[in-house]
Amino acid sequence: MRYSEEHKENTRRRVVEAAAKRFRKRGIGAVGVATVMADAGLTHGGFYSHFASKEALAAEAVAHAMDASADSIAAAGGLAAFIHAYLQPAHRDAPEKGCITAALVAEIARHPKSTRAVFTKKLRAFLKSIEAHLPTPDPAVAQAIFATLVGTLQLARAVSDPALSNQILSAGEAAARRLSSLEPAGV
């Protein structure tokens, strides 16, 4: 072969990362293949020497972004710190760098089973990670905490009144802490 394996893998990764960013910012359906390729410094025609379809890229982008945040609880320094960081205005205001679940769950739900299966696999891993950081591990509690975080961030993003948006973030943090049986406030 001509270009090294490494070269091709690098390009592919750049495309996946550009896609993960754009998709979170504007939605998968609203972003064209040409835009993603341009973000990666390429023209659109080369797309199909890397991916079978836009759908295949969507699945890879979801997987990539889920993997990128897989260790974010440990990185934050524990569940309480993670919850706090997750519900910060900074996260709300930068969806392209944030949680791909909050940005795209509803859209993923409308995608083919193959894409949903990829999401499901990565979600399971993340839920395990939440559970492992719980004072008293319980899968149902981990699921409920994540659902609360995702729902809260989305409501805070949709609302047009900044004051209400901030209140929602605070309310979500208190609720997530309460569900995880952490002490009420502090940081």
Interacting residue ranges for a second copy, rule: CB under 8 A: 26-27, 29-30, 95, 101-110, 113, 116-117, 119-120, 123-124, 139-141, 143-152, 154-155, 157-161, 164, 167-168, 170-172, 174-175, 178-179
For position 42 contacting DNA by CB under 7 A, the verdict is yes
Interface characters, 53-72, with DNA (x: CB under 7 A):
xxx-----------------
74 binds, among DNA, a second copy, none (CB under 5 to 8 A by kind): none
Q: Is 169 within 8 Å of 88 (Cβ atoms)?
A: yes
Q: Which is nearer to DNA, 7 or 110 (CB)?
A: 7
Q: Which is nearer to a second copy, 16 or 173 (CB)?
A: 173
